[in-house]
Amino acid sequence: METKTNWLALVVSALVGIALGFVWYGLLFSNQWMAGNGITMDAAGKMMKNGAEMPHSNLPMIVNTVSLLVYAYIMNWLVNKTSSFDLKSGATLGAMIGLIHLFGIYTGNRFAGNPISLSMVDGFYTFLLFTVMGTIIGAWRAK
């Protein structure tokens, strides 16, 4: 089986992942995520954790972008290995990978004693992320 990589599909799926994260963590579930991680905002609008101001850094966004590109590349490899070359089978493959991540996040948070709400926010984000990535990469094949 010859494998082809649609690099544009990989980049687009990573960009969609960034946008999804912005909406998910920035607009929809920021309060639940912050509470689950013990993060508060002080009167001046600074993020605080354990009584100390959290430093601002671009490193998490850089790591996130690189991670999303790696996820997309691995998803492409899985799409090729499983011949998931359409929208439905790509979405199904992505959902299965996302479900594995959801259970891993849930399990880790149970051991850490973190609230279930944090597991749901983080777990369902990864479920949705991989479902969308699988859909894009599965449906958008290289010619």
User: What pLDDT does 1 receive?
Assistant: 52
Which residue, among 11, 106, 122, has the nearest Cα to 68 in the 3D structure? Answer: 11
Which residue, among 19, 142, 28, has the nearest Cα to 79 in the 3D structure? Answer: 142
Residue 106: inside a domain: yes
Residue 52: inside a domain: yes
Residue 39: inside a domain: yes
Residue 1: inside a domain: no
User: What pLDDT does 107 receive?
Assistant: 98
User: What pLDDT does 95 receive?
Assistant: 98
Residue 135: inside a domain: yes
Instruction: Please state the domain count of the chain.
Output: 1
User: What pLDDT does 142 receive?
Assistant: 64
User: What pLDDT does 10 receive?
Assistant: 98
CA 83 – CA 89 distance, rounded (Å): 8
Can you give the pTM of this predicted structure? 0.93
Residue 92: inside a domain: yes
Backbone angles phi, psi at 80, to 5 degrees: -65, -45
Q: What is the mean pLDDT of each run of 10 residues along the chain (143 residues)?
A: 84 98 98 96 91 93 98 97 96 98 98 97 98 97 68
Residue 134: inside a domain: yes
User: What pLDDT does 141 receive?
Assistant: 81
Residue 2: inside a domain: no
User: What pLDDT does 51 receive?
Assistant: 87
Domain that holds residue 110: 7-139
